[in-house]
Chains A and B, each alone.
Chain A
């Protein structure tokens, strides 16, 4: 999983390599929290957490709960969360769970597998 802090726009960039499911959510959580709690990110005072979810085809409730946790941490630091999504199914899930009202969704182009 790629993660880095970009001081130019004070954002933490995290690329999620695939689905976010109950079976892999713990490792994804650890990687995300490593990034947003890194010295560099904290000392830089990050204002945005950018999650690249373009490789994900499915996010289950455990994955959604992780996003909610990230959102809560971001809120406590007055930061925002941006999610880059390709899958129309995940975009729809964000819509009916109202996560799209709390997380800024960037719809990426659908790639043909």
Chain B
């Protein structure tokens, strides 16, 4: 019974009707019971020729395999359906059979389980047939009569291939399951439109090492945010990331403080998880915790190795928050300090994983331009297209400190977002072409529909003002710096460029003079750079005698 895998075939002779009935004994009655038998590979043989079927069956059983024999495609289908394709490790199928032929059976079998390897038996010796057989997914073919040593070798290869394919599929499924769990734990469906939270989460594979969780403890004005990035890009990292997120969520629900959470996880990683002697197995998490009191705009920040969060005010000015400590899991005695910040009205926070910084650098654009583009692209399909060349998990979160600040009638007049934020040394004027390219690429990336003429004006004026700041403001010295920021107000469609140098200014009032005579742009008398700066922006303002230049461009 075990030999026939529970199947008994009965041919009706009394009535000479020629019907064949297949009877199956319940599987538990016939399946091998011993553990070693359960580990044995099961092979399906489908051949209408009784002699061949019998020889192959005996050969395989003597080699220690379990077999299941069928006389035609229909019987083979019944067996596969009954026991499930995963109960077979290989199929040996004859090409020429009454009813459906071997290729038709193989086509059906591949639909049931793509991982199951099959060997086709043929007496045809036809090249075209062989090609067709291989196209339909057979891993090998053997001419009849079958030569037993060749048959055994072919079986071994087929079993090996099934095993490899199934391992891949299982790993893939596991990663998929972890990825689904991670997306569920993001709790995106719990974030409402009025919460002022926008998240772009783009795992590289099915599962990710990055995570973010946003929680609002009951009866509290505080919003708690925890963002992490587990080292490594393998399943181990994804698994730990999921575990960490779940554990963190639980600790937060029971009001554990961020400092306690950080200390607990750091100790757990350093003294329990990372006990393997191989250094390559070391797991660490870059973790950032934020507690935002939305009414008072007070932010408590704790950071262990995560990219430094940025606080952005209404004018788009960027402040980097805190310095932070080492990632969790490096040193078990690490002390995680808390920074407390009072955010201005209408401000928001940017929080991103290092994958975004790396990708922006790889693309040759500003990380702020990339963050804005991603967060203003609501469709995840479009986000995936933007990030198609990314080689790491990418996560960006924008959190309005108090969403109520940005509601009401005056909200249209608020809200500059940063697109460029970079410091240049005074001796970098020879690199201005490269900087110009970065500025132009970033602006085009952040605001893809920007008018070409306006972009030219923006780029040319930024180049002029930046060169002026480097050469005159910083006297071309390597230890003196100027800051470039570009901000964008999407509702007013204004790009604002601000360049500040450490010099004392040039004292020329031409740039901002209202007197028509003073404004005369005669290129024979005037510095042509000033003429460009005066004429191209919609508005220009200077401070400290020209050491700070601010230009607005309506795009």
Point out residues on A near B: beta carbons under 8 Å. 21-23, 58, 60-61, 64-65, 68, 71-72, 88-89, 92-93, 96-99, 102
Q: Are A64 and B523 in contact (CB under 8 A)?
A: yes
A2 to chain B, nearest CB (A): 23
Q: Are A97 and B456 in contact (CB under 8 A)?
A: no
Q: Are B528 and A64 in contact (CB under 8 A)?
A: yes
Point out residues on B near A: beta carbons under 8 Å. 429-430, 432-433, 453, 456-457, 459-460, 463-464, 467, 521-524, 527-529, 531-532, 535-536
Q: Which residues of B contact A102 (CB under 8 A)?
A: 523-524
Q: Which residues of B contact A60 (CB under 8 A)?
A: 460, 463-464, 467, 529, 532
**Complex alpha-carbon distance, A99 and B523, angstroms:** 7
**Complex alpha-carbon distance, A65 and B464, angstroms:** 13
Q: Which residues of A contact B523 (CB under 8 A)?
A: 64, 68, 97-99, 102
| Chain B residue with Cβ nearest A92 | B453
Q: Are A97 and B432 in contact (CB under 8 A)?
A: no
What is the predominant secondary structure among interface residues of chain B facing chain A? Answer: helix
Given A61-B527, A64-B523, A89-B456, is A22 in contact with B532 using a C-beta cutoff of 8 Å? no
A113 to chain B, nearest CB (A): 12
Given A60-B463, A96-B531, is A89 in contact with B453 using a C-beta cutoff of 8 Å? yes
| Chain A residue with Cβ nearest B430 | A23
Q: Are B464 and A23 in contact (CB under 8 A)?
A: no
Q: Which residues of A contact B531 (CB under 8 A)?
A: 61, 64, 96-97
Between A and B, 11 residue pairs with Cβ closer than 8 Å are: A21-B433, A22-B429, A58-B456, A58-B459, A60-B464, A61-B527, A61-B528, A64-B523, A71-B524, A93-B532, A97-B528
Q: Which residues of A contact B429 (CB under 8 A)?
A: 22
Contacting B433 at CB < 8 Å: which of A23, A68, A72, A93? A23
Contacting B460 at CB < 8 Å: which of A23, A58, A65, A98? A58
Q: Which residues of A contact B522 (CB under 8 A)?
A: 98
B72 to chain A, nearest CB (A): 67
**Complex alpha-carbon distance, A73 and B518, angstroms:** 26
Q: Are B430 and A97 in contact (CB under 8 A)?
A: no
Closest 9 CB pairs of A and B: A61-B529, A64-B528, A61-B528, A89-B456, A96-B535, A97-B523, A97-B531, A23-B433, A68-B523
Q: Are B432 and A22 in contact (CB under 8 A)?
A: yes
Q: Are B532 and A97 in contact (CB under 8 A)?
A: yes
Q: Which residues of B contact A89 (CB under 8 A)?
A: 453, 456-457, 460
**Complex alpha-carbon distance, A98 and B525, angstroms:** 12
Q: Are B528 and A65 in contact (CB under 8 A)?
A: yes
B324 to chain A, nearest CB (A): 38
